[in-house]
Amino acid sequence: MAKFRTNHERSGSGASGNIVKVGIFSAVIGGLFFVFNQFMGGSSSEDTTDNPDPIEETNYQPSEEYLPTSTTGQVVHHRYYSLSYSEEDEQAEWVAYTLTKENLNKPWVDRKDVFIPDSKVKTNSSTPADYRGSGYDRGHLVPAADMAFSEEAMRETFFMSNISPQSHNFNGGIWRELEELTRSWAKKMNKLYVVTGPILSYEPKGYIGDNEVAIPAAYFKVLLDLEDPGQKGIGFVIPNEVSYDPLYKFAVSVDRVEEISGLDFYPDLLGDEAEEAIESNFNIDLWPFSKKKFEDRIDKWNKR
């Protein structure tokens, strides 16, 4: 299907190219400011955040060695997560981030549902208008609740590059259950490495909006316990539809998710032997499921 693309106007940060002549007085003042800034330990690099959060970078942003392979060649790094964007499907093929007990135990900031295009996507991301009247939820890949420890982190989850069309009873049902369990597991295990995305290798259920955003047939989530990366990993592949089955029925090995998605999740993180061991095996008993959440989904969430 040929895709119709609209050109989204961007507010770039580049200079206009005009050279402004400055006087000797301005040059002297600028020089004095530079010396003062250097003396005081300031940085001459541009800070793109109004109020950067005083959080150690290792608490939320995975290093390069953690990132999966990108089949699109367009990897985007935000402060709190990274993603690989698929222009053909107008959504990320994966998002990756660390989820820590420390951050999850912090007070939650207020959620503000302000969805905006992602200016870091060079080919232009989808827009909120693509979802309007579609009947599909603007489903988060990085859940807003995972980043509720910081206004900036929460705001980043509303970039349209982090959004994918999800069936309402999937988004508010079994997918919600998995997201809430993932936070529970992170609190229990201290730190999880999370990779989430749509299964773009499956035939889409359809397309929405002027940008023809693909509606994924299924989604995956892959989790790695960073306190014990050689032993504990698990994957999930779940159809994009309402489900009345227990969540554990959708648990699979990381190898299986790789086979289905065409991605390689730990190419540089683990040695070959450790990678093979963790990806080919998973012990469901190491990931405690919640009977209460399952009952809530069946009795309440699926009916909303």
Q: Which residues are catalytic?
A: 140
Question: Count of CB atoms within 10 A of residue 118's CB?
Answer: 21
173 token code pair: 């049902």
Nearest 5 degrees, angle CA 136-CA 236-CA 130?
Answer: 20
259 token code pair: 């086979």
Coil, helix or strand for 85?
Answer: strand
Nearest 5 degrees, angle CA 93-CA 80-CA 44?
Answer: 120
152 token code pair: 């900036």
**Residue 47, CA distances (Å) to 43, 52, 63, 79 in order:** 9, 9, 20, 12
Cα 68 to Cα 58: distance, rounded to the nearest angstrom: 17
